[in-house]
Chains A and B, each alone.
Chain A
């Protein structure tokens, strides 16, 4: 199976975010692989181990994105495709999906995997839109993949604890639910091997992708509080004592 995994690089989980217009100041923060995409990558590697084939990591963004792609290669992806784009964050979901789709069209993959959503913008549309662009069947929020006889049996998560099995032909696009597997760490051997692996660089221009944005993020800001929070202060012991008193005599819930 030839599998493409879409991997986004996002601000590190604990990065202090400073807002600048409709984005954040990128200069002072660290970046890491989008957590939901880690599960998609792991699933691709497992499918390759079971069925043979190739795993290609696909990312879009500025030069820094290569660091995250190298992590994917170190974990076992065979090669990478980097859509170099400094203004990636200004693309709307459709614009991003069009570029990603154009980059993989000539690869003709059996399967395209994405994470559920990104931890930064969180649109959660990439996989579904790539399926539309490439005219392939798709399924989202996938908790298990079984491949046999050129088609897949997929376990979809629904809400409130419900699941559903569905059948889906190949080739297809799947968005993977976080928690589907236990993600591996890169080994030292893998890190060494990654140095020899190729990352092809393309651009939206070289791919001939143009798209009119359908939406625009006007500004981002820190949410205004809807509830008045009473903050308790002091030493841990004092805060604990105050909290118990509040819960017992003010909120009367314990």
Chain B
């Protein structure tokens, strides 16, 4: 099986999920007697290509083009379609980033193929490759398989594989091969403008040792002071899952998850958070996770060290009191 890994970088920096996917590809190759090649595209990418060549890959395909300097879905799809057609892989793997979500399904469709996105793992069952992905907001998992001939397209969720397990090249360096693509400015219909960050506030959740986070279970903004009381009694920062910030109940910079901050505190106390994957990717690195939720089947309990099944509105005041006593 020939596997192609599409890597990602922006503003001169790797998206580290690229290496997680490279590790996944190497692991799949080892069970499916395959080979792994890595693709990097953009402008002035020699350093990136070199770094990939030091990994255990058959070759690095470097697609250098002025028109690929900034990401556009049209540019990437047109270029990568040619790369896939010439490299003829059986499987094309991507990190499941916002950028990949923006173009990879279309790339697959342009080749008449489908994509299994946002996978958390794979299994090889008597020679057949099955991809594992979450459904129903993480409440269930699904085994999904490809139908028909390759190339197959799949993406892996951030954190599903460990980047530090990428194997280095056995004898130094893999060859870097440049691929030229036919791409004209007129084919690129969208025009990327400035990249920017919204005004940053004083709070840096990534540095907070203790975090109390609230989710939908808090029900109404008037209930937030109860959670803030828990946080205060603990000396923790308050944070939230996306819906709470979408509603404007807490500012966006307090949001934990794929579109917000990624944190790894000593303690993460999740109050009324169900544990949808978009949230979990932002906090699963916490050393100790406590989940309090009324639904005993909530996916947050899968990653919790301590679980309390119950009504947060009964437990929050009791917890505040116990924390104050324990001081």
Cβ–Cβ < 8 Å partners of A158 in chain B: 10, 98-99, 195
- On whether the beta carbons of B304 and A119 are closer than 8 Å, the reply is no
Cβ–Cβ < 8 Å partners of A221 in chain B: 140-143
Give the contact stretch, choosing among A47-55, A71-79, A137-145. Answer: A137-145
- On whether the beta carbons of A212 and B148 are closer than 8 Å, the reply is yes
Cβ–Cβ < 8 Å partners of B260 in chain A: 161
Say yes or no: is B222 at the interface (Cβ < 8 Å to chain A).
no
Q: How large is the interface on B (under 10, 10 to 19, 20 to 34, 35 or more residues)?
A: 35 or more
Say yes or no: is B303 at the interface (Cβ < 8 Å to chain A).
yes
Interface of B is mostly: mixed
- On whether the beta carbons of A253 and B134 are closer than 8 Å, the reply is no
- The smallest C-beta distance from A150 to any residue of chain B, in angstroms, reads 13
Say yes or no: is A22 at the interface (Cβ < 8 Å to chain B).
yes
- On whether the beta carbons of A239 and B318 are closer than 8 Å, the reply is yes
Interface string of A72-97 (1 = CB under 8 A from B): 00000000000000000000111001
Within residues 130 to 186 of chain A, which ones have a CB less than 8 A from any CB in chain B?
Answer: 131-133, 137-141, 153, 157-169, 177-179, 182
- The smallest C-beta distance from A180 to any residue of chain B, in angstroms, reads 9
Q: How large is the interface on A (under 10, 10 to 19, 20 to 34, 35 or more residues)?
A: 35 or more
Cβ–Cβ < 8 Å partners of A161 in chain B: 197-198, 200, 253, 260-261
Interface string of A218-254 (1 = CB under 8 A from B): 1111110111011110001101110111111001011
Say yes or no: is B74 at the interface (Cβ < 8 Å to chain A).
yes
The residue of chain A having its C-beta at the shortest distance from the C-beta of B253 within the complex is A161
Say yes or no: is B146 at the interface (Cβ < 8 Å to chain A).
yes
- On whether the beta carbons of A132 and B110 are closer than 8 Å, the reply is yes
Cβ–Cβ < 8 Å partners of B101 in chain A: 124-125, 128, 140-141
- On whether the beta carbons of A244 and B114 are closer than 8 Å, the reply is no
- On whether the beta carbons of A132 and B141 are closer than 8 Å, the reply is no
Cβ–Cβ < 8 Å partners of B326 in chain A: 244-245, 248, 254
- The smallest C-beta distance from A38 to any residue of chain B, in angstroms, reads 11
Task: Report Cα–Cα, A182/B248, bound state, in Å.
Answer: 9
Contact residue among A166, A219, A225, A226 (Cβ-Cβ distance under 8 Å from B142)? A219
Task: Report Cα–Cα, A32/B319, bound state, in Å.
Answer: 35
Say yes or no: is A188 at the interface (Cβ < 8 Å to chain B).
no
- On whether the beta carbons of B98 and A229 are closer than 8 Å, the reply is no
Cβ–Cβ < 8 Å partners of A210 in chain B: none
Interface string of A94-127 (1 = CB under 8 A from B): 1001000000000000000000000111111100
Cβ–Cβ < 8 Å partners of A248 in chain B: 326
Cross-chain pairs A/B with CB under 8 angstroms, 23 sampled? A93-B114, A94-B109, A141-B98, A157-B98, A158-B98, A158-B99, A159-B259, A161-B260, A161-B261, A163-B197, A168-B190, A216-B145, A217-B135, A217-B143, A221-B141, A223-B134, A223-B299, A229-B302, A229-B306, A231-B308, A240-B322, A251-B267, A253-B288
